[in-house]
Amino acid sequence: MFRVTYTRKDGVHRAPNFGMWIDRLPESKRIIVLVLTPVMQLDANAVLDLSSAVEKLQAKHRRLIVSGIAPAQYRKLDHEGLVDKIGAENILSGSGVRHCLGG
């Protein structure tokens, strides 16, 4: 497993630069799980960055699963068209990753 963790000391947890995050992942990883926390803020820039990262992954036939998403985060992604782009079946609240992977 390859894990990248971002921690903030100022109490505000903003989304990481998803483009850089994707670029740092080993090419051998075909399924990438992005675990969100309820306090992670997805502003307009983060959503655009995530959209671009999803396009990069899909171009290389890699799959993104978003886990732990809060209702407000889901609504934001849906409003911006990312739920369709990622695939609703790949967006999970709580910890449903095993179910998503068929386990």
pTM: 0.77
Mean pLDDT, rounded, of the chain: 81
Residue 84 near residue 55, CB atoms below 8 Å: no
- pLDDT at position 2, please? 47
Query: What CA–CA distance (Å, rounded) separates 52 from 22?
Result: 10
Q: How confident is the model at residue 3 (pLDDT cuts 50, 70, 90)?
A: very low
Looking at domain 15-100, its CATH class is alpha beta
pLDDT in tens, 37-64: 887 888 888 899 999 999 999 999 999 9
User: 48-74 burial string, b = 16+ CB within 10 Å, else e?
Assistant: ebbbebbeebeeeebbbbbbbbeeebb
**Domain coordinates of the chain in residue numbers?**
15-100
